C-alpha cells in the first residue's frame, strides 16, 4: 500500500532518548566517540541477547527474521530492493565534547533516536546501555573505564517536552510516551522562513553523489539522499510505502541556491575488528545557508534532524540542526556551542 507523504508521515513517529551517565573509573575516549559508542552498544547487545552466537553475521543467521537484536544490529529484509541489509531503525547522537579523558565522577551524555515500530526494542536499548557501563568504554589500547547509567530521559526538541524514564535510584523504567510527530514538524515549519534556511552540521555529513564524495553540500544532492532515507525508514518501520513525487521535488531542489558555505572536512575513521581494518567515515561539519523556494522542502529538512542524512547515522554522523539564518549567534573559534532544546553540542 502506498500513501502520500503528508498522510503517511502522520503515522511516522520518532522517540528521542537521552542517556545521562557518570564515569565510575577513568575513561580515555577516542576522538571519534560515535563509533566508540556504537561499537560498545552492539557488543553489549550481542553478548547479552544474541540468540545464535555461533554465526558471525546476522545476515547468515536463520533466526534473523525473528531476532529483536538483528533489528538493531543488522536489519535484514531478504526481499528488499537494496539487498538484505536495510537502514537500522535508530540514529545515535554522540557525546559532543572535545574532552578525551573522563575522570571518576565526571558526567557525560549521549542520545539514541528510535523510529516507528522500533519503540518495541526500547527495553533492550536500556539494558544494553547499562551493560556497556559494566563492560567498559573507551580507547582499546588502554584499560577501558566503567560508567553508571544514572538517568534516561525522553524528549521532543520541537516542543520542549521532556520526561524522565529511568533513575538508578529507583530502578523503575517507564515507556517513552513523548513522540516526535509529523504535526510537531509542521508546526515547527510554520515558524521558519520559506526563503532562507541555515543548517548547522553538528557531526560529519558524508554524502556520495554520482559515485563520488561530496565536498560541497548543494541542495539537490542533499535532498535526494534525505528523501531516500525518509522513504526507506517509513517503508521498513511503518510497513507501507510513501508516495513521493521525486522528479518534481528534485527539479525544485535544483533551483535552491547555496549562498553561504562555512564548512570544513573533518577526517574520522572507524576500526572494524572483524575486518581488522580502518574505514574512513569523515565528512563536512560547519554551517550552510540555502535560499530559494524552500516551503516544500522544510518538512523533510526538519525530519532530517532526527533521521540524520548521509552515511554512518548509527555512528552519529549526519546530525544537523535547522534554524533561520538570524537565529542565535555564530561563535567563531576552535569549537561552536549549540545551546537550547538540542542540548549542548560542540563541533570541533
* SS3 state of residue 66: coil
Same domain as 48, residue 135: yes
- State mean pLDDT over 268-297: 86
CATH number, domain of 229, equals 3.30.70.1900
Between these two residues, 117 and 324, which has the higher pLDDT value?
A: 117
Q: pLDDT tens digit string along 98-115?
A: 899 999 999 999 999 999
Same domain as 210, residue 263: yes
85: pLDDT confidence band, cut at 50, 70 and 90? low
Q: Please name the residue ranges forming H helices in the chain.
A: 5-8, 33-49, 70-73, 122-135, 182-190, 219-238, 246-253, 298-307
Please check whether residue 167 lies inside any domain of the structure.
no
Question: How is residue 118 written as a grid cell?
Answer: 522500533
As a whole number of angstroms, the longest Cα–Cα distance in the chain is 55
Please check whether residue 172 lies inside any domain of the structure.
no
pTM of the model: 0.89
Phi, psi of 268 (to 5 degrees): -140, 155
User: Is it the case that residue 227 has pLDDT exceeding 80?
Assistant: yes
Q: Buried b vs exposed e over 140-164: b needs ≥16 C-beta within 10 Å?
A: eeeebbbbebbbbbbbbbbeeeeee
Same domain as 330, residue 240: yes
Please check whether residue 159 lies inside any domain of the structure.
no
Please check whether residue 60 lies inside any domain of the structure.
yes
Same domain as 67, residue 6: no
Q: pLDDT tens digit string along 137-149?
A: 998 888 899 999 9
Instruction: Extract the runs of DSSP E, i.e. beta strands, from 129-195.
Output: 147-156, 161-167
Same domain as 125, residue 205: no
pLDDT in the model for residue 220:
96
Q: Buried b vs exposed e over 71-88: b needs ≥16 C-beta within 10 Å?
A: bbbbbbbeeeeeeeebbb
Which among 126, 148, 170 is the end of a domain?
148
Same domain as 108, residue 218: no
Please check whether residue 137 lies inside any domain of the structure.
yes
Same domain as 187, residue 135: no
Between these two residues, 305 and 61, which has the higher pLDDT value?
A: 305
Same domain as 187, residue 113: no
Structural domains of the chain, count: 2
**Distances, alpha carbon 221 to alpha carbons 152, 186, 227, 247, in Å:** 36, 23, 10, 13
Same domain as 92, residue 36: yes
* C-alpha atoms less than 13 angstroms from C-alpha of 127 in its C-beta half-sphere: 10
Which among 124, 148, 172 is the end of a domain?
148
Please check whether residue 47 lies inside any domain of the structure.
yes
Contact (Cβ atoms closer than 8 angstroms) between residue 41 and residue 114: no
CATH number, domain of 65, equals 3.30.70
9: pLDDT confidence band, cut at 50, 70 and 90? confident
Residue position matching grid coordinates 537500522: 88
Same domain as 226, residue 115: no
Same domain as 25, residue 8: no
Please check whether residue 292 lies inside any domain of the structure.
yes
Same domain as 6, residue 108: no
> Domain containing 219: what range?
2-12+181-347
Q: pLDDT tens digit string along 15-51?
A: 999 999 999 999 999 989 999 999 999 999 999 988 8
The rounded distance, in Å, linking the Cα atoms of 77 and 130 is: 29
Please check whether residue 337 lies inside any domain of the structure.
yes
The rounded distance, in Å, linking the Cα atoms of 142 and 3 is: 51
Amino acid at each position: 500500500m502506498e500513501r502520500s507523504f503528508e498522510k503517511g508521515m502522520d503515522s511516522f513517529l520518532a522517540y528521542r532518548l537521552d542517556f545521562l551517565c557518570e564515569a565510575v573509573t577513568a575513561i580515555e575516549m577516542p576522538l571519534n566517540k560515535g563509533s566508540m559508542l556504537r561499537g560498545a552498544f552492539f557488543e553489549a547487545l550481542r553478548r547479552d541477547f544474541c540468540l545464535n552466537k555461533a554465526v558471525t553475521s546476522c545476515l547468515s543467521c536463520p533466526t534473523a527474521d525473528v531476532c529483536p537484536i538483528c533489528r538493531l544490529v543488522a536489519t535484514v529484509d531478504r526481499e528488499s530492493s537494496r539487498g538484505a541489509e536495510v537502514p537500522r531503525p535508530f540514529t545515535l547522537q554522540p557525546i559532543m565534547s572535545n574532552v578525551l579523558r573522563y575522570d571518576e565522577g565526571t558526567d557525560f551524555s549521549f542520545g539514541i533516536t528510535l523510529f516507528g515500530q522500533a519503540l518495541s526494542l526500547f527495553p533492550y536499548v536500556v539494558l544494553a546501555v547499562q551493560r556497556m557501563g559494566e563492560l567498559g568504554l573507551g580507547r582499546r589500547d588502554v584499560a577501558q573505564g566503567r560508567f553508571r547509567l544514572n538517568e534516561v530521559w525522553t524528549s521532543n526538541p520541537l516542543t520542549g517536552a521532556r520526561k524522565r524514564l529511568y533513575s538508578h535510584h529507583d530502578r523503575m523504567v517507564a515507556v517513552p510516551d513523548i513522540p516526535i510527530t509529523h504535526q510537531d514538524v509542521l508546526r515547527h515549519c510554520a515558524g521558519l522562513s520559506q526563503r532562507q534556511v541555515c543548517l548547522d552540521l553538528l557531526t560529519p555529513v558524508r554524502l556520495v553523489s554520482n559515485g563520488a564524495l561530496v565536498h560541497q553540500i548543494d541542495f539537490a544532492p542533499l535532498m535526494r539522499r534525505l528523501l531516500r532515507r525518509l522513504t526507506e525508514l517509513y517503508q521498513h518501520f511503518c510497513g507501507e510505502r510513501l508516495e513521493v513525487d521525486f522528479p518534481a521535488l528534485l527539479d525544485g531542489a535544483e533551483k535552491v541556491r547555496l549562498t553561504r558555505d562555512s564548512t570544513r572536512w573533518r577526517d574520522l575513521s572507524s576500526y572494524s575488528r572483524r575486518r581488522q581494518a580502518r574505514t574512513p567515515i569523515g565528512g563536512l561539519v560547519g554551517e550552510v545557508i540555502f535560499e530559494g523556494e524552500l516551503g516544500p522542502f522544510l518538512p523533510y529538512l526538519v525530519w532530517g534532524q532526527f533521521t540524520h542524512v548521509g552515511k554512518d547515522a548509527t555512528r552519529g554522523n549526519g546530525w544537523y540542526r535547522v534554524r533561520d539564518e538570524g537565529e542565535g549567534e555564530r561563535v567563531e573559534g576552535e569549537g561552536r556551542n549549540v545551546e537550547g532544546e538540542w542540548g549542548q553540542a560542540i563541533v570541533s
